[in-house]
Amino acid sequence: MNDSNDKFIVVIQILGQMLSLMEEKNNLLKKKELLSPADVMVLFNRSARTISRWTKKGILKSVEINGTLHYRWDDVYPLIELKNI
């Protein structure tokens, strides 16, 4: 094998590991009933500003607990399935 093939194989392996880590993170989030804004940012791969804007527009329904916004998994999950936001 030549050097470029070796590099390509390493890149593919790294991408596979990254994908596994992302799937693991998403599976952990699915087990939570309430999600933080940071959790929602990860699920949608969007910035804090976007999540805030979606909340203000009513796209994402939030609940306030002790002055902190949270999102119910049952409200977020259908939007993940749509992926049209």
CATH number of the structural domain spanning residue 61: 1.10.1660.10
Reading the block at residue 19, the tokens are 């994908």
pLDDT for 47 = 96
44 and 6 both lie in a single domain = no
Q: How many domains does the chain have?
A: 2
Q: Is 83 left (phi over 0), alpha (psi -120 to 50) or beta?
A: left
pLDDT for 22 = 76
54: Cβ contacts below 8 Å, ≥ 6 apart: 46, 60, 85
pTM equals 0.61
- Structural domain span for residue 38: 33-85
23 and 63 both lie in a single domain = no
pLDDT for 74 = 86
80 and 43 both lie in a single domain = yes
Average pLDDT for runs of 10 along the chain of length 85? 83 89 70 87 93 95 92 89 67
